[in-house]
Amino acid sequence: MNIIELKSETYSVHIAAGASTLLQSYIQSRPATSRSFILVDSNTGKHCLPRLVAAVPALSNVTVITLQAGEANKHLASVEGVIGVLLSQGADRHSLLVNLGGGLITDLGGLSASLFMRGIDFVNLPTSLLGMVDAAVGGKTGVNFSGNKNSIGLFSNPSKVIVDLNYLESLPEREFRSGVSEVIKHQLISGEIGKTNWQAVPWSQFDWATLIAQSIAFKQNVVASDFQDHHLRKILNFGHTVGHALETYSLTTGLSPLLHGEAVALGMQLELVLSHHLTELDEKLLKDYLRLIQGVFPELSFNMFDHSWMNHLQTDKKNQDREIRCVLLEGLGKVRVDVPIAEADIHKALQYLVVNSIN
Ligand SMILES: NC(=O)c1ccc[n+]([C@@H]2O[C@H](COP(=O)([O-])OP(=O)(O)OC[C@H]3O[C@@H](n4cnc5c(N)ncnc54)[C@H](O)[C@@H]3O)[C@@H](O)[C@H]2O)c1
Ligand SMILES: [Zn+2]
């Protein structure tokens, strides 16, 4: 097996098809008294758990904690449920929690493990593309509270992250594309965009291990210089001011909810236009990037919504003094954070998208 290993000061990330087997030696290297627990959701329990247990004999008789799939279950009551099982099944300070799932499981499992007995070790085995390139790395854990996304949480690193590409086989196509949106975001802000031909080549022919590794390595580098999200880490929010507003709007109206990556794909389009209008991003690059994103998400456009989605812009947690602030792209790999945006700028950018949309 050709395993890509990314080492950071705190933990390492291993990437390969079949990489789950690495967990066997990791568990065996832990004290003999350490017991393991697995956290899954109802989908990863069905599709990914059998593969994990087959690859890691040390996990064949351990307690499996299963949450209902879905963002609606990402709340404190689920954390209490996880901790309740850990306690009732005899977990102690030396126990290990194995998080097997998408961002829901790695965020919620990471938080539960970090709170239980003031913190036990956890490993992340992301099973969604979004989890692999984003949620499972970077050390943010959390749950939603009273309608506010990730408003309760901790910075807490896993002991190890194992990215086993085989889990992607059962991931629904729509979820997969949602993850591609974050890969494109990393490529846009790192200046790596253009090296992957998202339209011309069938995705099955891509070297996903390398693509995912590049995406993770980029995020790790950004996080390493700003673990607690004071300045540089904000660049990772490109597309997210508008994206979060659309996501919240689509969840609170009768519309069928947008997936996170879909909302970010639209958010990046609008924020790219803002970048052209308010910074130096030239129109040729703008049009190339818009075509790229619209090609991957042909079914999405701002025509799907009425303008009330904009009411959610002000509540974004990144904004100061209820001002709208965005991360903008000044050029290839050149990013400016905390740019104040007026509502008129948004209207103008929307107008541009209506005229320049290929969808
Ligand atoms: N901590 C961070 O830095 C960070 C970054 C980005 C996103 N997030 C969080 O991550 C979450 C979104 O992540 P997500 O898109 O992975 O959501 P998710 O965990 O809800 O997974 C999406 C869906 O895919 C299913 N699924 C996952 N892997 C599967 C597989 N291999 N086969 C079949 N079904 C599978 C899940 O059951 C779920 O229905 C959000 O809660 C978001 O807040 C956190
Ligand atoms: Zn995101």
How many other CB atoms are found less than 10 A from the CB of residue 322? Answer: 9
Ligand 1 binding pocket mutation candidate from 175, 180, 182, 251 (most atoms within 8 A of CB) = 175
Distance (Å, whole) CA 258 – CA 276? 26
Q: What is the DSSP letter of 211?
A: H
Q: Per CATH, is 174-355 categorized as 1.20.1090.10?
A: yes
pLDDT of the residue at 322: 72
What is the mean predicted confidence (pLDDT) over 172-190? 97
> What confidence tens digit (pLDDT) does each residue in 106-132 have?
999 999 999 999 999 999 999 999 999
pLDDT of the residue at 315: 55
Segments in the chain forming alpha helices (H)? 22-28, 42-47, 49-55, 76-88, 103-115, 129-130, 173-190, 208-225, 240-252, 260-278, 283-296, 343-355
Residue nearest to atom 11 of ligand 1 (CA): 103
- The rounded mean pLDDT for the chain is 94
Percentage above 70 pLDDT, the chain: 97
Burial class (CB in 10 A: 0-12, 13-18, 19+), 305: middle
Atom of ligand 1 nearest to the CA of 138: 3
Distance (Å, whole) CA 286 – CA 58? 51
What is the mean predicted confidence (pLDDT) over 300-316? 86
Total-model pTM: 0.96
Pocket of ligand 1 (CB under 6 A): 41, 43-44, 47-48, 69, 71, 74, 101-105, 107, 127-128, 130-131, 134-135, 138, 140, 149-150, 167, 170-171, 175, 178, 260
Ligand 1 midpoint to CA 273 (Å): 28
Ligand 1 binding pocket mutation candidate from 107, 183, 222 (most atoms within 8 A of CB) = 107
What is the mean predicted confidence (pLDDT) over 240-245? 95
Would you say residue 320 has pLDDT above 80? no
Ligand 1 binding pocket mutation candidate from 13, 43, 259 (most atoms within 8 A of CB) = 43
pLDDT of the residue at 146: 87
pLDDT of the residue at 8: 84
Distance (Å, whole) CA 350 – CA 58? 54
> What confidence tens digit (pLDDT) does each residue in 14-72 have?
999 999 999 999 999 999 889 999 999 999 999 999 999 999 999 999 999 999 999 99
Would you say residue 316 has pLDDT above 60? no
pLDDT of the residue at 187: 97
Q: Per CATH, is 4-171 categorized as 3.40.50.720?
A: no
Sorting pLDDT into bands at 50, 70 and 90, what band is 223? very high
**Which token pair is 290?**
């818009």
Atom of ligand 1 nearest to the CA of 48: 31
Residue nearest to atom 5 of ligand 1 (CA): 135
pLDDT of the residue at 147: 77
Would you say residue 317 has pLDDT above 60? no
pLDDT of the residue at 39: 99
Would you say residue 319 has pLDDT above 60? no
> What confidence tens digit (pLDDT) does each residue in 328-357 have?
999 988 999 999 999 999 999 999 999 887
pLDDT of the residue at 64: 98
Distance (Å, whole) CA 164 – CA 126? 8
Burial class (CB in 10 A: 0-12, 13-18, 19+), 61: exposed
pLDDT of the residue at 318: 54
pLDDT of the residue at 323: 87
pLDDT of the residue at 321: 64
Percentage above 90 pLDDT, the chain: 84
Atom of ligand 1 nearest to the CA of 70: 20
Ligand 1 midpoint to CA 70 (Å): 8
Domains of the chain by residue range: 4-171, 174-355
pLDDT of the residue at 112: 98
